Every structure is written in C-alpha cells, then in structure tokens.
Amino acid sequence: MGPGDTAASGRARLDAIVDWLQAVAYADVVDAGLDREVLWVVRRCALRVDRFPVLGERVTLTTACSSLGARWAERRTRLAGVEAVALWVAIDPHTFRPARIDQLASVYGESAGDRRVKTGLTHPAPPPDADVRQWRFRTADLDVAGHVNNAAYWQAIEEEPLSDGLYAEIEHREPSGPGDALLLSSGDRRWLTTPDRTVSASFLIS
C-alpha cells in the first residue's frame, strides 16, 4: 500500500479501500469471462474495520459471491483487518442500464449456493434539523457511466475522526454528477444530497 492510498496518519483511506473492492470485483469478472456481458454498480456496501491497513503494508484481497439474483449479487471481500459486504446491480456494459444476465448463475451459483440476495434499502431520510455543509464532486470522480464513482462518496467520511473498530455502511439511491452537493449530518447518520436535498447516498457510521 502506497502513499496515494493513505491518510496523513498513514492508515488506508476509506475511499482507497472501496476502490480496491471495485478493482478485485472487476478482476473477478474478467477472470470469469463476463467482462463483455456485465458491469457492476454498487447499491449498498458495509465495511467492518477491525484494523486499518497502514502505509507499506502488503494487502491481499479475497472475494466471493455470497448470494445471487437475476440482476443482483452480494459480494464479500476480506483484506487485512477489514471485511466488506457489497450489494451490486448488474449493468449491461453497452447500454449502462440494469439488465438480467443469465450467465451469472452458471458462474457464481456454486459460491452463492441457495442464498438469495436481499435488495431492500433501509436508511432513513435526513431530518429537517440535520447539520448542513457544502460539498462538491469533481469531474475526476466520474466513472465510465458518467456518474460519480461509488468510492468517491467515501471521501466525505474521511472528514470524520476515524479509528480501528469502525463500522460504516453506505446506500446509494440516485446517481450524482459533478458539481455542488450538500453533506448532511445527524447523530451517526450522514447524507450526500443535491443542492435541492435529493439524497444521492446515505451513511451509517458507528
């Protein structure tokens, strides 16, 4: 792990960790021969950080599909001190639209077993009295679908005092583009919204 992935303290940043999750998930799709059939977009991701990886540490990721649907899959990934569970939506790589991918069962069915993915979102809307601060997404935060990449949302949580023993989860609701946004806070909840307060993503931090 190099300096580009670390906070000033030397620990791995959350957005870097989530970027690693994307990289290993995409590598798994390529290895399975599905890269022309499917892209994955994160709908929900939970991180349990018993210990943050640190600068200079060699980090190995292991991943597997843990439950499956026709258009959805849950993926569990482990790395040094961190366990992640993510819900992914299958996207047609040509149209960038959600799509049924019939090949998923033949590739991931063995690791998923008979477990069916749970797709419901549970985070509440922000309360009217939530604290508000300005945020901004950059053009550099966009992915190939023209939306803010899911790892970029975690940069907002890097504004928090973070330490080992962290649990954090995100739910993505509406795609964001570059430009002004709002970061709302109330207790252990955070929301990234458009200027008119349409929620793009919400966090639980504990």
The pLDDT of residue 167: 98
The pLDDT of residue 28: 83
Q: Look at the domain 131-205 and name its fold.
A: Thiol Ester Dehydrase; Chain A (3.10.129)
Average pLDDT value for residue range 88-109: 73
The pLDDT of residue 110: 63
Q: Which CATH architecture has domain 3-112?
A: Roll (3.10)
Is it the case that residue 96 has pLDDT exceeding 90?
no
Percent of the chain with pLDDT over 90: 65
User: What DSSP state is assigned to residue 178?
Assistant: S
Average pLDDT value for residue range 52-79: 89
The pLDDT of residue 98: 76
Average pLDDT value for residue range 67-85: 88
Could you tell me the pTM of the whole model?
0.90
Query: Cα angle at 119 between 114 and 125, to 5 degrees?
Result: 155
Within this chain, domains 3-112 and 131-205 share the same CATH topology: yes
Tokens of 106: 């033949």
Asked if 142 and 177 touch (Cβ cutoff 8 Å), the reply is yes
The pLDDT of residue 106: 65
The pLDDT of residue 202: 98
Which of these, 127, 117, 91, 119, lies nearest to 199 by C-alpha position? Answer: 127
Average pLDDT value for residue range 177-205: 97
For residue range 114-164, what is the model confidence (pLDDT) as tens digits? Answer: 666 677 789 999 999 999 999 999 999 998 888 999 999 999 999 999 999
The per-residue DSSP string of 1-53 comes to --GGGB-TTSBBPHHHHHHHHHHHHHHHHHHTT-TTT-EEEEEEEEEEESS--
The mean predicted confidence, pLDDT, of the chain is 89
The per-residue DSSP string of 100-111 comes to --TTHHHHHHHH
Domain ranges of the chain: 3-112, 131-205
Is it the case that residue 81 has pLDDT exceeding 90?
yes
Q: In what order do the strands lie in the sheet with 39-49?
A: 62-68, 72-79, 82-91, 39-49, 166-172, 199-205, 189-193, 179-186, 131-137
